Amino acid sequence: MIMKGEMPLPFSLVLLILTGLWVLTSLLLYLKGGRSSRDRRIDLMRNGLVRRILKARPFQFILQLPLVFIFLLIILTGLYGSQDPGRNLATVGTWTIWWAGIIFLILFMGASWCLMCPWSAIGDWVERVSFWRKKEGISLRKRWPRSLRNRYPAILFFMIVTWLELGGFITYSPLYTAYLAIFMLGLTILTLFIYERKVFCRYVCFVGGIVGIYSNLSPLEMRSRDKEVCKVCRTKDCIWGNERGYGCPIFEYPGGMTKNTNCILCTECLKTCPHDNMTLNVRPFMADISERYRGRLDESILALTLLGLTIFHGVTMLPQWFLWAIQMIKGKNLFGYISAFTMLEVLSVILPVGLHYLGSILSRRMGGKGSVREIFIRGSYAFLPVALSYHLAHNIGHLNGEGSKILPVLSDPFGWGWDLFGTASMAPFALLGSKALKTIQFIVIAIGLVSALLLLHRLFRDYEVERRGKALFLLPLSILALLYSILNIYLLIQPMVMRTISYL
């Protein structure tokens, strides 16, 4: 993709300064004390205006309404608009702006996407027959199978969507992007009508899985102020609901919540708590994991799957890969292409899991007294900053190279020749110069690596090791984090094929 121009140097300097502030803030907040302490939180519910807004029943509806409008517009443009991916809102809005930008939203605002999610919004409105008033709804309220009460359905769903995105080239097709949006909406509504509460959000949604596991690194949390108050509470309205709101829709006990993995920030517990004991806090980055995180095997697999598939995303956008894929497809060797792609995608998931298991075995032999399984689960969370940092750096490249396409598309969302806002004829431009872009990307990768090494020490700070010392015990997993970061830097310095070019 050829850029027509670049934004001036001051804009690059502003982004560099913001990145530097992010570095200093995250590291200083993280290093300020090693134990969980309330003095490291800012209770936003202490502010009267914030408290009134978050407790108001229409609050979530007001946030959801504009996103529902955009979501429906994306479906319409995908179905009826031009099929040139660079001229259609469905592809530019979904894969360039939303899919790239959601990672930045998670980093700073946690699960705020789930609060505003248009799939969930439409499903709730239909099932509850209400926009914001508290009603019982018309669901059959069947129980979700116990064997599927984990993140494995979300992992499988994520692999399927990745297969469609990268192997099926749906990012280059407005029509199939619209089909995927309709499918997600249909699945959300179907599960809401059949099962109790939001099992789709908790166990199935791949976006919810990504948001949840990454949110443990974000500086926003929904928690109880005083767990003793929750213990003596007899009604547990945050679980069962009351006239002011619904019980937790994702089967959490808000009063005992210690991590962000499953919380969707719906604010229902803020509304229903009779003791005004639930609050929204600003806290240090990575607080959930650094403060005695209680891990699960399914979450560990999800974290490593994110690491593998994120790197796989970068590999499939190399020019060499792209040309190979097009040659295979145009050469009528579709079966060969699909088979090779599927095997490589599966390998991209198996390999990080296998390497982490090997690293856990080596750590156990270098002085760890616990089981390999315990080391595997604990250590896997330290790789979240490595995955997130590459996810951010990679998406910065996409936004820099393609983000400006949203301006002409907003004026002509269907690609029909409209010019609603006078921007339809704007040529693409880069937001950053190449040097500034690479500098920011490398800083982000460096932050990810340093954060991973810090988390490894925090996660295993109370872990018993033999005389060889903890540094040697952590060496295998530390080397893995370093190797992943080097691989990520290598991918970032390569040319990247953009998502909104026509490949046929």
DSSP secondary structure letters along 231-243:
HH-SS-HHHH-BT
- Classify residue 240 by burial, with Cβ atoms within 10 Å: 0-12, 13-18, 19+: exposed
Element (H, E) at 79: helix 58-80
The size of the chain, in residues, is 504
pLDDT given at position 347:
96
- The CA distance from 460 to 457, in Å, is 5
Instruction: Establish how many alpha carbons lie within 13 A of residue 91's alpha carbon, considering only the half-sphere containing its beta carbon.
Output: 28
User: Under DSSP, is residue 253 helix (H, G, I), strand (E, B) or coil?
Assistant: coil
Q: Tell me, yes or no, whether 271 lies in a domain.
A: no
pLDDT given at position 166:
84
Q: Which of 73-77, 201-205, 493-497 has the lowest mean pLDDT?
A: 493-497
Q: Tell me, yes or no, whether 260 lies in a domain.
A: no
Please write the tens of the pLDDT for every residue from 174-214.
999 999 999 999 999 999 999 999 999 999 999 999 999 99
Q: Tell me, yes or no, whether 475 lies in a domain.
A: yes
Q: Tell me, yes or no, whether 1 lies in a domain.
A: no
Please write the tens of the pLDDT for every residue from 300-313.
999 999 999 999 99
Question: Does the pLDDT at position 266 exceed 70?
Answer: yes
| φ, ψ for residue 242, nearest 5 deg | -155, -165
> Quick one: what percent of the chain has pLDDT higher than 90?
67
- The CA distance from 341 to 168, in Å, is 10
Q: What mean pLDDT, rounded, does the chain reach?
A: 88
Q: Whose CA is closest to 392, among 180, 218, 220?
A: 218
Q: Tell me, yes or no, whether 240 lies in a domain.
A: no
pLDDT given at position 434:
86
* DSSP conformational letter for 423: -
pLDDT given at position 504:
44
Q: Tell me, yes or no, whether 204 lies in a domain.
A: yes
pLDDT band at 503 (very low <50, low <70, confident <90, very high): very low
Question: Does the pLDDT at position 31 exceed 90?
Answer: no
CB atoms within 10 A of CB 422: 9
Q: Tell me, yes or no, whether 283 lies in a domain.
A: no
Please write the tens of the pLDDT for every residue from 94-118.
999 999 889 999 999 999 999 999 9
Question: Does the pLDDT at position 8 exceed 50?
Answer: no
The predicted model gives 411-439 an average pLDDT of 90
Q: List the beta bridge partners of residue 278.
A: 224
- The CA distance from 479 to 355, in Å, is 11
Helical ranges in 81-130 per DSSP H: 89-91, 99-109, 112-116, 118-128
Q: Tell me, yes or no, whether 238 lies in a domain.
A: no
User: Based on the structure, what is the number of domains in the chain?
Assistant: 1
- Classify residue 145 by burial, with Cβ atoms within 10 Å: 0-12, 13-18, 19+: exposed
- The CA distance from 357 to 109, in Å, is 32
Range of the domain at 55: 9-31+40-216+288-492
The predicted model gives 265-291 an average pLDDT of 91
pLDDT given at position 34:
44
Residue appearing with tokens 């969507």 = 161
Q: Find the farthest-apart pair of alpha carbons in the chain and give their distance in angstroms, rounded.
A: 72
Instruction: Establish how many alpha carbons lie within 13 A of residue 188's alpha carbon, considering only the half-sphere containing its beta carbon.
Output: 23
* DSSP conformational letter for 201: I
Question: Does the pLDDT at position 14 exceed 80?
Answer: no
- The CA distance from 138 to 126, in Å, is 9
- The CA distance from 179 to 170, in Å, is 10
Look up residue 329 and give its two tokens: 């497809």
**CA distances (Å), origin 320, targets 314, 443, 451:** 12, 26, 32
The predicted model gives 137-155 an average pLDDT of 94
Question: Does the pLDDT at position 36 exceed 50?
Answer: no
Element (H, E) at 401: helix 384-402
pLDDT given at position 467:
63
